[in-house]
Structure 1
Amino acid sequence: MHTLLINGEFLKPIVVMEQLEQQDKGTICDFDVDVEEGLLVYKISMVNVEAREISKYQYRALDGVLLTEKSSAYNSDDIGSVNAAKMLQAKHMTFSALVALAIEDQQGYLTQAELDHDLSISYLELKLLNQDSKNTIAFDIETLRPLPLLKWD
């Protein structure tokens, strides 16, 4: 994946997230980069709290073309993401803006970002890939600051 990220031309994940958010179908709760048939693919999940459903999208990273879309009711496994999405909505903030803030001073390529709620804290967990390592950080949604106790390499 790192080789594709370094050598390939692709839309930045934030751009694809912002385009999806403009459709106003809910709040993005999960982002993931995957390699399928040699191509980078962005997988994005969006929760619609009012409709009680999660929609999953796949986009071609090269040009942002939508490849697949499916929706289903969310279940108990999704409650952490749903609660964190509610906190994000209460702050009148988008997922893409939160991700941009969280990676502002970080190095590497964003490969995963997920909203979660645990131990009474709503946070964004991110994974960044660079040439030397894969870093995972957590970012508190309420305080808009990194969670140092949940930062690891």
Structure 2
Amino acid sequence: MVRLLLAICFLPCAVMATPSMHSLLINGDFLKPITVMEQLEQQDKGTICDFDVDVEEGLLVYKISMINVETHRINKYEYRALDGTLLTEKSSAYASDDIGQVNAAKKLQAKHMKFSELVTLAIKNQQGYLTQAELDHDLSISYLELKLLNQDSRNTIAFDIETLRPLPLLKWD
């Protein structure tokens, strides 16, 4: 019973000691996401279709998925944001619910663009830290959905792959 009470008393302190994503991003002690994306694009066949930032054990981790439309596979990677060290790598066949990303990846390939180039264009005049970027295809539009985190809020924007412009109808805060 004493152990349980001690655990309950110290739990809030342990939770409070875990740094938030925003505080880790403000610290700036990490490789830029675009740098890690570019390095992966040079090494692997396929198109990045998903990027996420996560906090694991107090460290920033980049999670990147890459679709290879020729082999029908998705490769998933986790990198330590601090130095770009590869932490995990998994590969699997893509499923029917991945078809939106597959179609958007094909559109991006048809434009002879890399995911990192598209993300760079999409965030050019935006404020905040990139925390998520994902290709999708819906309503006959292939687009990149991005989430940016700043001190006050989280912004989500959509960027049309065909026109290389923001989609105002899909822009929300």
Task: Give me the TM-score of the superposition, normalised by structure 2.
Answer: 0.88
- Deviating 4+ runs (over 2 angstroms): none
Give the equivalent residue in structure 1 for 2:48. Answer: 28
- Select which of 94, 104, 115 maps to 1:84: 104
Q: State the match for 1:110 in structure 2.
A: 130
| Alpha-carbon separation, structure 1, partners of 2:35 and 2:116 | 8
Higher relative contact order (CA 8 A, sep 6+): 1
Residue 130 (structure 1) aligns with = 150
2:129 maps to amino acid = Y
Larger Rg: 2
Residues 67-98 of structure 1, C-alpha deviations (whole Å, 9 max, x = no match):
00000000011000000000000000000000
Shift in Å at residue 148 of structure 1? 0.1
What's the counterpart of residue 61 of structure 2?
41
Aligned residues: 153
Q: TM-score scaled to structure 1, two decimals? A: 0.99
Q: Partner amino acid for 2:128?
A: G
CA distance, structure 2, for counterparts of residue 7 and residue 93 of structure 1 = 31
Deviation at 1:23, TM superposition (A): 1.1
Match of 2:87 among 50, 67, 78: 67
Q: Greater share of strand residues, 1 or 2?
A: 1
Quote the Cα distance in structure 2 between the aligned partners of 1:39 and 1:96: 23
Q: How far does the alpha carbon of each residue in 1:72-128 deviate from its partner, in whole angstroms, 9 at most, with x for none? A: 000011000000000000000000000000000000000000000000000000000
RMSD across aligned positions (CA): 0.5
Structure 1 stretches lacking a partner, 5+ long? none
One-letter amino acid of the counterpart of residue 71, structure 2: A
d(CA) in 2 for partners of 1:133, 1:145? 23
